[in-house]
A and B are shown apart, each in its own frame.
Chain A
Amino acid sequence: MKRKKRLQDLIGWLAPFFGLILVLAIFSSIPEIQDRFLRIANFKSVATQSVIVALGALGMTLIIISGGIDLSAASNLALSGVIVAYAISAGIHPVVALFCGIVTGGLIGFVNGSLITSLRLVPFIVTLGMLGIARGIAKWIAGNQKIDAPLTWVNELMTRNPRPSWLLLAPGVWLMIFLALVMAVVLRYTVFGRHVFAVGSNEAAARLCGIRTNRTKIMIYSIAGLFCGLSGVMQFSRLTVGDPTVAVGLELDIIAAVVIGGGSLSGGEGSILGSMIGVFIMAFLRNGSTMMGWPNYIQEIIIGAIIVVAVSLDQIRHRRER
């Protein structure tokens, strides 16, 4: 009996991996691209491509667990990238510029959280507004065009061929892995993590238990904002220019990753591991489809289908448990 339960736990824990393994298995079984798909260089490049969405998804996981949503993530990311480019091209030291970008992201998140709690508005509305505001500010600062910043070491954060070569992966990828571990620990082993789940599961109960729900929410949105800021830095590092029009609609990819990874839009559920797997499922699909030369619409259909299938499988699993 107990053994059976343990087996079930194991299956529950492994379930998110199945999707990823399935995607990998499908593409590596196609002879045309098999050898190329399975090369380490390809995995390296997919990892680098995933960093931007993954960093966004780390913050979005927090928000979705707490029962909220952040539609402004991609705009926030674009704004932060533009700020970094602007600062560097204004001759500010790259470290300070980088810091400015991240703080900008955090600030936008803080404003989101404050508006949600003080005006008692639904996160959907507040962040929908912020989606436009942040994008607008980004275009304004950039003077409605891209900003060409001089090349600095910031642009080495996301290269496919990092120097020194013993790094193997780009610094940005290592940062992503490190932060994912940190966030997983935070969610599982800290008081703050528990409060995030409590707020998402039953906000009224959390408040009555003396959790300062407003403070918790503001923290959640601020942290998510910081992640968007960092993501924006990475985006800038990759583009080498500050582009206010970049990542339009990327927030939906980020949300999809979290949802594929088991996050529930009604709150209380979700995990960092799941979200990261969601990110990689989408990244490998994109990678594989490009290699196959499939047109974009195929890819869009497949990813759409995966969202529906992943969430319904998750539902079925939950129903079994009950």
Chain B
Amino acid sequence: MQQNQPCPILLQMKNINKSFGATRALDNVDFELKTGEVHALLGENGAGKSTLVKILSGALKQDEGSMLLENFRHSPSSPLEGRKKGVSMIYQELNLAPHLTVEENIMLGKEIHSWGFVQRKEMKRRVRDALELVHHPEISLDIPVRKLSIGARQVVEIARALMEKAKILVMDEPTSSLSQEDSDLLFQIIKKLKVQGVSIIYISHFLEEVQRVADSFTVLRDGKEICSGNMEDTSLEELIQHMVGQKVKEMFPQVEHTIGEVLLSLDKLMGSKMQAEVELNLHCGEILGLAGLIGAGRTELLRTIFALDSVEQGSIKVADVRFSKGTPWQRIKQGMGFLSEDRQREGLALSRSLTDNLTLSNFSPYCRFGFLGLKKRNEAAQDWIQKMKIKARSPEQRVFSLSGGNQQKVALARLLHQRADILLLDEPTRGIDVVSKSQVYEWMGQLASRGKAILFVSSYFPELLGICDRIAVFYRGQIIDIRPPSEWNTESLMVAATTGKAL
């Protein structure tokens, strides 16, 4: 039983305090990490998880408190120094240089050189080894990263972190844009790293996933440490309770809604970036889930419907009007609303205020002879902030200063504000906390009850099963099967999505 002896403490963070202006991001937080363990850091959006690991990595400096790494004082002044001391990070938002090649990205900041000249051969060998380690040797070293899919980019990012001889590896939402397959792969890599004695701090909103990989956990809420313990001794419900601080009645609130006539129908629709024709009917008051792996063609379908990609053949019919080509502007006029999966780049104007973002797609209520009624607009924005429970100081606050979950709420609120009848939602719950998720589900139900039709793309099967009226499974650009959720379960969805065969 030698092995089960408590591991020596690798990292100790004591009484960490950090404020941003008036907001207290961290309030006397203690954190301990043992050698070779996977430690989950849990909490809602804005609870302080990211701040804590940024302090650890050297990207931020704490106001008060101390850190001990292997019993030595640890106060890195920059990510570089943090990394040299053995703390590596995989960030939540992708952090690659799009114009640089895979090899250049992975070796960025740690180029092997003699007299300033890069040693390409040696670097390529190492990069190849690193990609081998993450089981993606097929990724070409010489193509610019901007030409890779989001999933592949994430793999590159993990490979980059593995290049370091890290003692502590921080993973901030590493699976949020990975397919199930790639996630499983990541878990295998994590196991390997654990054996090698690397400690991992794992931040994720997927609690099931956390339960699978983590040995222990720490829960933060509103900048305070709530509790920590062994993962094995704690149930999922308990974790959620710690995180939200109150009993969650139901993860998937059910709102009564009745399904009406067909509102949107796709007739052999084929877009420029789609792999196959798609035929689909969406009814008033229906939530239709689209399940599948990353890259299965769901995003491309939504983009084609919303005219972001051009229609090659087939047609779209909205309430008896048939059309094929168009522009997003026309689609909005036809009552569609689209929520992009990439809220940083496409979803929001980050440097503009909440008000601007909320009202961007529908100025008309505040418009008089081409002039905007600014006050009216702000009031409306204030309204949405309350309705959507967005944590913001004022409607004038700029969006980039909000946390990820709150940003997503802003993006959603805009769709609601736009009064769309057909909502195309691409991963609306990605990277947002449990409570916000639950709110999003409730809104979707309420919208359906008001007769709106919703196409809901998600890679998280439980939520599809929880709130959809029907679930369609995509496999390589085609719809394999459509059934009501009662006829699916997580396993059968998984099988259909990965093999293309419906059980």
- B104 interface neighbour in A197, A208, A269, A322, Cβ under 8 Å: A197
Beta-carbon contact of A205 and B95 below 8 Å: yes
- A204 interface neighbour in B95, B108, B111, Cβ under 8 Å: B95
A198–B101 Cα distance when bound, in Å, is: 10
Beta-carbon contact of A202 and B113 below 8 Å: no
Contact with A along B110-149 (1 / 0, CB 8 A): 1101001110100000000000000000000000000100
What's the least CB distance linking B349 to chain A, in Å? 17
For the complex, is B99 an interface residue (Cβ under 8 Å from A)? yes
- A321 interface neighbour in B109, B111, B147, Cβ under 8 Å: B147
What's the least CB distance linking B154 to chain A, in Å? 14
Contact with A along B297-337 (1 / 0, CB 8 A): 00000000000000000000000000000000000000000
Beta-carbon contact of B80 and A212 below 8 Å: yes
- B80 interface neighbour in A190, A197, A210, A269, Cβ under 8 Å: A210
Kindly list chain A residues whose C-beta atoms are within 8 Å of the C-beta of B99.
Answer: 197, 200-201, 268-269
- Which B residue's beta carbon lies closest to that of A210? B80
Kindly list chain B residues whose C-beta atoms are within 8 Å of the C-beta of A211.
Answer: 80, 108-109
A12–B99 Cα distance when bound, in Å, is: 15
- B118 interface neighbour in A194, A201, A204, A205, Cβ under 8 Å: A194
Question: Known: A197-B97, A197-B100, A200-B99. Is A206-B108 also a contact (CB below 8 A)?
Answer: yes
Kindly list chain B residues whose C-beta atoms are within 8 Å of the C-beta of A194.
Answer: 100, 104, 108, 111, 118
Give how many A residues have a beta carbon under 8 Å from the other chain's beta carbons.
Answer: 23
- Which B residue's beta carbon lies closest to that of A209? B109
- Which A residue's beta carbon lies closest to that of B120? A189
A65–B160 Cα distance when bound, in Å, is: 23
Kindly list chain B residues whose C-beta atoms are within 8 Å of the C-beta of A204.
Answer: 95
**Of listed B89, B97, B147, residue having the most chain A CB within 10 A:** B97
Beta-carbon contact of B116 and A191 below 8 Å: yes
A315–B83 Cα distance when bound, in Å, is: 38
Kindly list chain A residues whose C-beta atoms are within 8 Å of the C-beta of B78.
Answer: 210
Kindly list chain A residues whose C-beta atoms are within 8 Å of the C-beta of B147.
Answer: 321-322
For the complex, is A192 an interface residue (Cβ under 8 Å from B)? yes
What's the least CB distance linking A321 to chain B, in Å? 7
What's the least CB distance linking B60 to chain A, in Å? 12
What's the least CB distance linking B438 to chain A, in Å? 32
Kindly list chain B residues whose C-beta atoms are within 8 Å of the C-beta of A191.
Answer: 111, 113, 116-118
Beta-carbon contact of B59 and A201 below 8 Å: no
A198–B110 Cα distance when bound, in Å, is: 13
Kindly list chain A residues whose C-beta atoms are within 8 Å of the C-beta of B116.
Answer: 190-192
- Which A residue's beta carbon lies closest to that of B115? A190
Question: Known: A190-B118, A212-B80, A321-B147. Is A205-B97 also a contact (CB below 8 A)?
Answer: yes
For the complex, is B260 an interface residue (Cβ under 8 Å from A)? no
- A190 interface neighbour in B95, B96, B113, Cβ under 8 Å: B113
For the complex, is B462 an interface residue (Cβ under 8 Å from A)? no
Contact with B along A164-193 (1 / 0, CB 8 A): 000000000000000000000000011110
16 contacts between A and B (CB under 8 A): A190-B116, A190-B118, A191-B113, A194-B111, A194-B118, A197-B97, A198-B100, A201-B98, A205-B95, A205-B108, A206-B97, A206-B108, A209-B108, A210-B83, A211-B108, A268-B100
Closest 7 CB pairs of A and B: A210-B80, A209-B109, A268-B99, A201-B97, A210-B109, A205-B95, A201-B99
Binding site for B on A (CB under 8 A): 189-192, 194, 197-198, 200-202, 204-212, 268-269, 321-322
Apart from A189-B118, A208-B91, what 9 extra A-B contacts exist at CB < 8 Å? A194-B108, A197-B97, A198-B108, A205-B95, A205-B96, A205-B108, A206-B108, A209-B109, A210-B110
